[in-house]
Amino acid sequence: MASEFAEIISSNNMAPLWEVLRGLTPREPLQKVSPTFWRSNTIKENMKLACEFISAEDAERRVLVLENEQLRGKSLATNSLYAGIQMILPGEIAPSHRHTASALRLILSGEGGYTTVDGDKVFMSPGDFIITPTGVFHDHGAEGDEPVMWLDGLDVPVVQMLNCGFSADDPDHKQEVKYPADYSGTIFGNGLRPISPAPKRTYGTGSIFHYPYERTYKALTTMKAAGNFDPCDGIKMTFIDPTTGLSPILTMSAFMQLMPEGFRGQTFQETDGAVCCVVEGSVSVVINDEPFQFEQHDVFVLPSWSTRSYESPEGCILFSFSDKCLQEHLGFWQRRVVSN
Ligand code: 1HN
């Protein structure tokens, strides 16, 4: 009888909710991804192979996708975040294109790299945070004599879930630069906002898209000098669009965090999973009771709602990105301190 019932409803494209209800609404977030990590040396060695294998132009983007062990073959670092490592060799160009997914970047190494976003060109240095908002043309290149490598984060999984994505190649392989040097940073990054004439920019939330490390570092170390630390995070700052106070990409938040020498943080949980990268120093992280040690330019995943605690004898600057702002906007985000 029961199987007859199951077959009948199944043949009509229906299913009994009571068999899947708890799976649809778990008591708390499930540990669906693992704290997968990629060592800096492994990244560099594999990127060297990729550089021998393909040019940036042939690849369109020479990127090694960082796949979570639990989500292989899906181009996913977590359920909601794409992550990858990109490299451009001197003289190469990653041709101009646009897509619905937004991108953020943390520059890891190399001087002379540039990105042009909607006709606005900026040069990138290690530690810089850069964004490409939704739907605007962007191309990259390396005009110095060093390879340039960075960490990419995209909201591809969100765009895929909503199935709302478009993409196009730019007939101009390399965009013409339409603005004076550091246009957006100067217009929007100095506590001012143009009124008349209204800025022509139409993209994303639309103001600055380059956050030089020098300034981020100074903000963190100035807070450190004031001597106030969060018991879990040390000092953690988030990148904002100064015209809105919100994350410059509304699907992804990005953070730069400083742990002072000798920091021992409390154990806590947050509902946003994150991709983290050590910018300077080193950090020990206990994730779901498992200890890890990370050095400069190691990349690791912090699964959503995993218990985590940081310890840093020598001090650390840690970059991370997550879907926190999206969760906050939807009223979902939660944090819980587990222990002292
Ligand atoms: C992309 O356009 C870039 O522009 C990097 O540098 C990574 C991953 C998936 C889809 C598009 C880039 C990307 C990407």
- Ligand 1 centroid distance, CA of 229 (Å): 36
User: Along the chain (340 residues), what's the average pLDDT of each consecutive run of 10 residues?
Assistant: 91 96 95 97 98 96 98 98 98 97 98 95 97 96 98 98 97 93 91 86 73 98 97 98 94 98 98 98 98 98 98 98 98 92
- Ligand 1 centroid distance, CA of 233 (Å): 30
Ligand 1 pocket mutation, candidates 63, 87, 99, 159, criterion most atoms within 8 A of CB: 63
Ligand 1 pocket mutation, candidates 47, 61, 99, criterion most atoms within 8 A of CB: 61
CA-nearest residue, atom 1 of ligand 1? 61
- Ligand 1 centroid distance, CA of 61 (Å): 6
Superfamily of domain 27-337: Jelly Rolls (2.60.120.10)
**Rounded Cα distance, 300 and 38, in Å:** 6
Query: Which run of H or of E encompasses 56?
Result: helix 56-59
What values do phi and psi take at 336, rounded to 5? Answer: -140, 130
Ligand 1 pocket mutation, candidates 118, 124, 152, criterion most atoms within 8 A of CB: 152
User: At residue 204, what is the residue type?
Assistant: G
| CB neighbour class for 68 (10 Å; exposed up to 12, middle 13-18, buried from 19) | buried
How many of the other CB atoms lie within 10 Å of CB of 89?
A: 15
pLDDT of residue 2: 84
How many of the other CB atoms lie within 10 Å of CB of 160?
A: 16
Residue 84 CA: which ligand 1 atom is closest?
A: 7
